[in-house]
A and B are shown apart, each in its own frame.
Chain A
Amino acid sequence: MSADVEDKAGLPPRALQPVTVGLFATCLVDMFRPSVGFATARLLEAAGCRVVVPDAQTCCGQPAYNSGDRKDARALARDMIRLFEPFDYVVVPSGSCGGMISHHYPDLLRDDPDWGPRARRLAARCYELMAFLVDVRGMDAVTARLDATVTYHDSCSGLRELGVKAQPRRLLDSVEGLTLKELTGAEDCCGFGGTFCVKYPDISGRMVSNKVADIRATGADMLLAGDMGCLLNMAGRLKREGSTVQIRHVAEVLAGMTDTAPIGDTADTARRR
């Protein structure tokens, strides 16, 4: 798959030349968790980026693509390319949507003489947030504080398509007061899988129950991950089981923006724990 992606090396030298980033928040962040969008922007700005949020952004087209609807997926891919190609980079607080742009767009538009090369060019400049901060911008610490024991779930696409594993841990390590307790089976799928979770609720339910059992076994106060789909899924199951574990996107913690209610809680329900 990665053969389709141009070498990421020929781009402006890493670190600290000011760059403009087109922030693609993803449809789930847009609708469910704007805090993650603001946290992402704050982290990008701390890494010396100017952040622009194109307001015509919608969805990367992954639901269509993974359901076999190539026509709509291609149309959405072209819209996205048009929208984001003016920026130095496009950064996404989601490994799954980031992987869609950087791995699957070139594949989808492979045979298109005009859009194929444009897809490849955008793919080469598209990053998942954690990978962008650490690998491209050379960030190795944040200035945030959180007195909590957290555990971390590696979302599948980020991990296996984009190699996101060490970067969030490196940054979390710099958060004052935070202890990371590694999750057994951190790399096991949580059972979200886009439309999978509603098409096969029995299987998805089993997978997320297993995941939640592992999370609860860590004894951590908080669960973090880098993908809203997985977070909504795990939060939904944790809350269904009456767990007091709080759930947040990792960007919220790294940006020091934990004053909002956690995912699936209100300020009240979170305080009552």
Chain B
Amino acid sequence: MQATSHQFKDNVKRAMGDAELQASLSKIKNGFVHKRAAAAAALPEFETLRDEARDIKNHVLGHLDIYLERFTAEVEARGGHVHWAPTAADARRIIIDLARDSGARTITKSKSMVTEEIALNDALEQVGIEPIETDLGEYIIQLAKEPPSHIIAPAIHKTKEQVAELFLRHHGRYGKTQRLTEPTDMVREAREVLRQKYLDADMGITGANFLVAETGSIILVTNEGNADLTLALPKRHVVVAGIEKLVPTLEDASTMLRVLARSATGQEFSSYTTLVTGPKRDGDLDGPDDFHIVLLDNGRSGMIGTEFQDMLRCIRCGACMNHCPVYNAVGGHAYGWVYPGPMGAVLTPALIGVDEAGHLPNASTFCGRCEQVCPVRIPLPRMMRAWRTREFERGLNPTGQRWGLGLWAWFARRPRAYRLLSRTGAAVLGRLGRGNGRFRRLPLAGGWTGVRDLPAPEGRSFVAAWKADGRPTAMPVSPTQGTTGSTKP
């Protein structure tokens, strides 16, 4: 998809004015956030599991070459094929070749963020192949021709009225002409429409939540079971996955699964957890004849060994965005690319460049809730700060901002000049604000006073006032000597 991250501020304005979006966002807190908290509280070993999950991912990232080789060998030993895609364009080409080779006209897809990342649907449509999203949320945004706004709930920005409207507009050709009001009816209708699509599809594309090196298996979790129909009914199953999805063993995968659903939706386990190991074997009742895995790099290996390596631990649970006050205020589309919220603020600059996505790591208060809930303990604020450092070093932040900061630092490094500044500032503002105790407007402070008053200073500088009171200011020669305990003021 075409990134709009550079116009983040415009995106934010639009999002703020979108009443339906705001209504949808307000539901996150009582949904995902409360459910995660309850699930975490109900499992005594949850915190330990998070440590283990982090360690498993760190181990893999430290030995990625070994595990990639092992995984490839295991897939091939079971009759599957592994394709290596250094870039998004490579991945698209490989997939289109596979589709053409199987004569595919329609392809069913199970929700996959990585195929959003490589803009696969557009590429398929351009060559005359119809991709059909089968996850309900993803299906909805496909009808709306919109990108996802959340990595696990892609249509979270839509109200049910908007969904009803979409179905009314698009389902007429299947003989469904009634305006629905109940979510359950909408689910049923979508299911009926999709059922035939599953049967018609020539190829199925899924992502993967985990790639298991020891067995060459992929693991998929869904709540709708749509992945199972996507991969089992057509003749050919193509998996697209980032290389960071590897885990060494099935045992490790089970640890990851235990933190994934709890962090994502507050479920102990997703409704469907599917293990796929190679194509259908002789005697198997179902499964594809043909099994392919496209392993996507697309900038990931370049993060190894940098301060952004930890980001590759991400298991795409969405907890960081659910708990992010910025995401909750603006929604996912404002971030302007596939990955929103704190994980997007770190990953997007790595994948599409900090020149395009420079706003994202800046639009954070570093409140730290994302890191607090991340199941694999990714230090998201620290990495956003690392992006800011790179931007600063390359001179990418606005000149005014650089000047302001530079001036501030200049004073802060010169205590005498600084004292004069703080004393004068406090005195002048204190006097001006004496009438009300606050300012509604101040020159050069529009960023502050546009949305709130500025409380007036009391009028004195603390350090100056303390000194004027004759209280101790000099540094003692030896700090613990000559002190006699409490000195009441």
Contact = CB atoms under 8 A, between A and B. Distances in A.
Contacts of A51: 471-472, 487
A116 interface: no
Contacts of A70: 389, 392
Interface stretch (B143-151, B222-230, B255-263, B455-463): B455-463
A247 B456 CA distance: 13
Nearest to A26: B462
Interface string A171-211: 00000000000000001110111111111111111111110
A34 B401 contact: no
Given A50-B487, A191-B325, A37 B466 contact: yes
A57 interface: yes
B472 A52 contact: yes
B454 A198 contact: no
A250 to B, nearest CB: 16
Nearest to B422: A31
Contact of A34 (B330, B397, B465): B465
Interface in B417-468: 418-419, 422, 425-426, 434-438, 440, 445-458, 460-463, 465-467
Interface residues of A, number: 93
A156 interface: yes
Given A63-B405, A79-B413, A193-B365, A57 B463 contact: yes
A46 B485 CA distance: 9
B479 A34 contact: no
Nearest to B393: A68
Contact of B388 (A68, A197, A208, A232): A68
A193 B367 contact: yes
A193 B364 contact: yes
A45 B487 contact: yes
Contacts of B16: 202, 206
A83 B413 CA distance: 12
B254 interface: no
Nearest to B471: A53
B489 interface: yes
Contacts of A52: 472-476
B484 interface: yes
B191 to A, nearest CB: 37
A201 B450 contact: yes
Given A51-B472, A197-B447, A67 B397 contact: yes
B461 A30 contact: yes
B372 A160 contact: yes
B362 interface: yes
Nearest to A40: B462
Interface in A35-77: 35-38, 41-42, 45-46, 48-59, 61, 63-70, 72, 75-76
B2 interface: no
Contact of A161 (B368, B392, B393): B368
A188 B437 contact: no
B371 to A, nearest CB: 8
A229 to B, nearest CB: 10
A34 B460 contact: yes
Contacts of A261: 437, 458
Contact of A260 (B325, B412, B435, B458): B458
B406 interface: yes
B412 A58 contact: yes
Given A32-B455, A68-B391, A56 B415 contact: yes
Contacts of B412: 27, 58-59, 61, 76
Contacts of A33: 457-458, 462
B369 interface: yes
Given A41-B471, A200-B363, A156 B489 contact: no
Interface string A208-240: 111000000000000000000000110111011
A18 B486 contact: yes
B388 to A, nearest CB: 3
Contact of B461 (A31, A67, A86): A31
B425 to A, nearest CB: 6
B27 interface: no
A157 interface: yes
B365 A266 contact: no
Contact of B484 (A50, A160, A235): A50
Contacts of A245: none
A160 B369 contact: yes
Interface string B313-333: 000000000000110011000
B422 A27 contact: yes
A160 to B, nearest CB: 4
Contact of B452 (A88, A196, A208): A208
Interface string B73-93: 000000000000000000000
Interface in A101-159: 156-157
Given A25-B462, A240-B453, A266 B437 contact: yes
Nearest to A54: B475
A6 interface: no
A48 to B, nearest CB: 5
A1 interface: yes
A269 B436 CA distance: 7
B392 A67 contact: yes
B317 to A, nearest CB: 19
A210 B452 CA distance: 13
Contact of A53 (B413, B458, B466): B466
Given A66-B366, A237-B451, A202 B409 contact: no
A91 interface: no
Given A25-B462, A35-B458, A240-B452, A20 B473 contact: no
20 contacts: A18-B485, A31-B461, A49-B486, A52-B476, A55-B415, A63-B408, A68-B397, A69-B389, A87-B475, A87-B476, A87-B479, A88-B479, A156-B366, A196-B362, A200-B362, A200-B363, A202-B9, A207-B326, A235-B455, A240-B453
Interface of A: 1, 12, 18-20, 25, 27, 29-38, 41-42, 45-46, 48-59, 61, 63-70, 72, 75-76, 79, 83, 86-88, 156-157, 160-161, 187-189, 191-210, 232-233, 235-237, 239-240, 247, 260-261, 263-266, 269-270
Given A27-B412, A33-B462, A56-B415, 7 more contacts: A18-B483, A19-B483, A52-B475, A55-B419, A69-B409, A208-B452, A239-B452
